[in-house]
DNA sequence: AATCCGTGGGG
DNA sequence: TCCCCAAGGAT
């Protein structure tokens, strides 16, 4: 399973793809990117709790769920509380799902809390309480998609996987494709490129994955990239092309005010704070428009985030 | 493939 | 102020 630098097929495929996208690449790793990026990472990586050895695979998995669309700064305190309360998957699986939703706090997208609880239960039932090591088994868990499966396998278990998140996609778009931003949806070409750029050595591949993510998060940011601090600025295709502005249609701006999501958020905020079941009349006060309010509440119930009780009362789910 | 799903901080 | 967007996943 482990590739070596001498493996002909992998190396050849990588070289072809890379040379097609980046003709000037001639150094040992095919691109000249590995050394500068991993060296930069060694010096500048943040000391995040889920990167410490004691975090374990469960800590890595919890962090990955929380970091799906939520910034590090907001995840940090909730992560610490979560791991202190539920240090193993079995601990979370033994709780009511509503407690996971409550502990999720204001991280947003609370369905992630429900899925993390469901993942903990699945880990308990299918894997004896240990976070599985295999990508396919990780991918089968609730709330674990292509990215999270690769991230856990790579960061927790040191395996060789292409970890393609929004940061890595942006770094590759700029450094290799010469564009300011990656495509809206992840393309086959991006996956192919990510695989081609992945170092053959397993340990180096895992460090490369973390390093490219960190570079995108700290230096090669979406808005104001700090190219003066970038270890690969001299090789960056986008920069060499004169940093051309993004072509094509503007990214779809996600509206929030007045949407069902906002109403769901207001309803759930009330239920999170409540110790006892909440009467319908209290929920009615959070939004003026009755049709949308009812639709939002129905949606929360359908998602399993809210449990309806007799007498028009509601609470976070016990089962 | 396009939409839906929260929340808050920074420019 | 308003707008962008932040370690995605499911349908």
Any idea which residue has 């204001």 for tokens?
A: A106
A12's tokens: 């050849």
CATH 1.10.340.30 boundaries in chain A: 49-156
Q: Which residues contact A288 (CB under 8 A, 6 or more apart)?
A: none
Strand C footprint, Cβ within 7 Å: A 48, 50-51, 63-64, 67-72, 108-109, 115, 142-149, 151, 165-167, 170, 213-214, 216-217, 221-223, 250-251, 253-254, 256
Residues of A annotated as catalytic are 64
pLDDT value of residue A24: 40
State the span(s) of chain A assigned CATH 1.10.1670.10: 15-44+162-240
- Compute the distance between CA of residue A63 and CA of residue A195 in angstroms, rounded to an integer: 24
Q: What average pLDDT does the structure give for chain A?
A: 91
Query: What tens digit of pLDDT does each residue of A216-226 get?
Result: 999 999 999 99
The Å distance, CA of A67 to C1' of C9, is 12
> Which of A236, A194, A298, A183 is closest to A33 using CA atoms?
A236
Residue A26 pLDDT: 36
**A310 pLDDT higher than 80:** yes
Q: Which of A60, A130, A144 is nearest to A93 (CA)?
A: A130
CATH of domain A49-156: 1.10.340.30
Chain segment A127-182, per-residue pLDDT in tens: 999 999 999 999 999 999 999 999 999 999 999 999 999 999 999 999 999 999 99
Given this model, what pLDDT does residue A16 score?
39
Q: Which of residues 266-285 of A touch strand B (CB under 7 A)?
A: 266, 268-269
- Whether A18 shows a pLDDT value over 90: the answer reads no
Q: The domain at A15-44+162-240 falls in which architecture?
A: Orthogonal Bundle (1.10)
Q: Which nucleotide is nearest to A255 (CA to C1')?
A: C3
CA distances from A308 to A115, A223, A254, A316 (A): 20, 43, 30, 9
């Amino acid at each position: 399973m482990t590739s070596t630098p001498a493996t002909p097929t992998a190396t050849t495929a990588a070289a072809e793809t890379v040379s097609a996208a980046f003709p000037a690449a001639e150094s040992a790793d095919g691109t000249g990117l590995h050394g500068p990026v991993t060296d930069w990472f060694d010096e500048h990586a943040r000391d995040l709790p889920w990167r410490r050895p004691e975090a374990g695979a469960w800590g890595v998995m919890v962090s990955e769920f929380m970091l799906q669309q939520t910034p590090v700064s907001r995840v940090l305190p909730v992560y610490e509380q979560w791991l202190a309360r539920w240090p193993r998957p079995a601990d979370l699986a033994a709780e009511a799902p509503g407690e996971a939703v409550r502990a999720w706090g204001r991280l947003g997208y609370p369905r992630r809390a429900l899925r993390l609880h469901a993942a903990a239960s699945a880990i308990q039932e299918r894997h004896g309480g240990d976070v599985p090591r295999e990508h396919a088994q990780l991918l089968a868990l609730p709330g674990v998609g292509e990215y999270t499966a690769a991230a856990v396998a790579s960061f927790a278990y040191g395996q060789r996987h292409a970890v393609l998140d929004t940061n890595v996609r942006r770094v590759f778009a700029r450094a290799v494709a010469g564009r300011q931003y990656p495509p809206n949806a992840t393309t086959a070409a991006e996956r192919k490129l990510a695989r081609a750029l992945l170092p053959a050595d397993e340990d180096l591949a895992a460090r490369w994955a973390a390093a490219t993510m960190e570079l995108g998060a700290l230096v090669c940011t979406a808005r104001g990239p700090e190219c003066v601090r970038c270890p690969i600025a001299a090789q960056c295709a986008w920069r060499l092309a004169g940093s051309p502005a993004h072509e094509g249609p503007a990214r779809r701006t996600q509206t929030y005010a007045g949407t069902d999501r906002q109403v769901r958020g207001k309803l759930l905020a009330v239920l999170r704070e409540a110790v006892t079941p909440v009467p319908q009349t209290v929920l009615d006060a959070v939004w003026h428009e009755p049709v949308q309010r009812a639709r939002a509440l129905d949606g929360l119930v359908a998602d399993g985030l809210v449990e309806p009780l007799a007498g028009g009362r509601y609470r976070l789910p016990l089962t």
